[in-house]
Structure 1
Amino acid sequence: MTLSPRHEDAWLVIPLYDEASVVGQVVAEARQVFPHVVCVDDASTDDSVERAREAGAVVVRHPFNLGQGAALQTGLRYVLEATDAAYLVTFDADGQHRVEDAAAMVRRAREEDLGVVFGSRFLDDRTRPGLLKKLVLKAAVWLTNQQTGMRLTDAHNGLRVLRRDAATALDLRQNRMAHATEIVLQLGRTGLPWAEHPVHVLYTDYSRRKGQSLINSVNILVDTLLK
């Protein structure tokens, strides 16, 4: 990883559920560029909380499992109420997002005065999700665009940069995967300037062993249909 200048005024918000084997490394690597990280533990049953804290993250805990949308809302609220952060970055705990992509997105938000930067794995050909997963995700993106009026290429990528005013506008009520559509809808209504930025999502042996890759994509599609 090529290190970028440290972003002292940006906080990473990481939803966390049963990622003890990887979250420590994810947080430690992120903090080389983003010294401020909050993990929202959604009632993990393993040692995720301890590993995240050892790596230097602030940890906020849910007493019950509420879903990724709820974890994101908790993390955003924590940063907005407890810090004066200028930017908030939503970031996954499983090692699929790259810190250098997040840093480039924050730089772009600053330089272009953007309220939102959405990460997209479909703006170039670096990400290899597999044909079936790609088809499912593309279907979910089309549905999201129909529902929100936005024209995104990857509406369900968890890597996003939100300027403080954009983050303040979010009030997520969808706790499961449909929260991604809700985020796009609410951000679109703000009228703030936005852009998509090409990112490389890493489908690791770990995520494949957990069976996350295709199952999560199907969950996204189903929740988008039901929303």
Structure 2
Amino acid sequence: MKDVAFVVPVYNEAQVIGTVIKAIQAVTPHVVCVNDGSTDASAAEILKAGAYLVDHPINMGQGAALQTGIEFARLLPGVERFVTFDADGQHVIDDAIRMLTTLEVGDLDIVLGSRFLGASVGAPRLRKALLRLAVRFSNVTSGIRLTDAHNGLRAFNRHVADTIEITAPDMTHASEIIELIARNGYRYREVPVTIHYTAYSVSKGQAGMNAVNIAVDTLLRKVGRS
């Protein structure tokens, strides 16, 4: 799949990023890792694994890292399809491949992964409860009905890559992307995926208070546009 680029935001993932990159390289040589101000050896591990390294000198947030990565990936020769993929090992490469197939045969602009249509292996109960609340909130505020509002696994075409502008630098970006799907009229579909929660990935997860912050930021953004 030489027409596919994976965009991977990275913040202090030296322990696992090499393994994640190698798994992606079985699908495509185009792995764009945005090192978002990491203070560990993430940059060295990215280079060691042979991925593209794009550096943020300071931590700007996952939303900013995704936008930077998408802009870089758009410049790669022959790339027409794009996947956003987490760096902590939670996502499954086979899911991404199926999503890319769905993108093409379904005549879609963007395909979104859903753990609630698929599976959450090892997910803490509180995390699942917060995610379900986030879905309800997103469905009300975005105008789009989804089953999973904060899944980082997405596949999309060149049109989306050329037109999407993620302005929320932090974790609020997931809600903003859904809003952009509605505002830009992207053709979309959700598909089942599996998320593997390990002790490592859970330790890297977002605190419950961040869910409140995301909700407040989303409401402020909505008010600002009205």
For 2:154 and 2:75, the matched residues in 1 are separated by 20
Residue 146 of structure 1: how far off its partner (Å)? 1.3
- Gaps of at least 5 residues in structure 1 are 1-6
Distance 1:169 1:83, change over 3 A: same
Distance 1:201 1:176, change over 3 A: same
- After superposition, the C-alpha distances for 1:175-196 in whole angstroms (9 at most, x for unaligned) are 1111111111112222232100
Equivalent residue number for residue 80 of structure 1: 74
Residue 213 of structure 1: how far off its partner (Å)? 3.5
- After superposition, the C-alpha distances for 1:16-70 in whole angstroms (9 at most, x for unaligned) are 1110010001001110012210000011111101111111210000111111100
After TM superposition, list the pairs within 5 Å mapping 1:40-55 onto structure 2: 40-55=34-49
The answer on 1:212 being equivalent to 2:193 is: no
For 1:43 and 1:95, the matched residues in 2 are separated by 19
For 2:31 and 2:119, the matched residues in 1 are separated by 29
CA contact (8 A) 1:177 1:220 kept: no
CA contact (8 A) 2:122 2:198 kept: no
Give the letter for the 2:124 counterpart.
G
CA contact (8 A) 1:53 1:59 kept: yes
Aligned residue among 95, 100, 103 for 1:106: 100
Secondary structure of the structure 2 residue equivalent to 1:144: helix
After TM superposition, list the pairs within 5 Å mapping 1:58-207 onto structure 2: 58-207=52-201
Distance 1:85 1:218, change over 3 A: farther
Distance 1:92 1:126, change over 3 A: closer
For 1:72 and 1:105, the matched residues in 2 are separated by 18
CA contact (8 A) 1:136 1:218 kept: no
TM-score calculated relative to the size of structure 2 = 0.91
Distance 1:63 1:213, change over 3 A: closer
- Gaps of at least 5 residues in structure 2 are 219-226
For 1:218 and 1:91, the matched residues in 2 are separated by 24
Q: Percent identity?
A: 42
Residue 119 of structure 1: how far off its partner (Å)? 0.4
Residue 126 of structure 1: how far off its partner (Å)? 5.0
Equivalent residue number for residue 10 of structure 1: 4
Q: How many residues align?
A: 218
Secondary structure of the structure 2 residue equivalent to 1:199: strand
The answer on 1:226 being equivalent to 2:220 is: no
Of residues 120-129 and 107-116 in structure 1, the stretch that sits farther from structure 2 once superposed is 120-129
Give the letter for the 2:127 counterpart.
K
Of residues 118-127 and 48-57 in structure 1, the stretch that sits farther from structure 2 once superposed is 118-127
Secondary structure of the structure 2 residue equivalent to 1:122: strand
For 1:60 and 1:169, the matched residues in 2 are separated by 21
For 1:181 and 1:213, the matched residues in 2 are separated by 17
Equivalent residue number for residue 28 of structure 1: 22
CA contact (8 A) 1:137 1:221 kept: no
Secondary structure of the structure 1 residue equivalent to 2:166: coil
For 2:119 and 2:35, the matched residues in 1 are separated by 33
CA contact (8 A) 2:96 2:153 kept: yes
- After superposition, the C-alpha distances for 1:143-182 in whole angstroms (9 at most, x for unaligned) are 1111110001001100000111012221111111111111
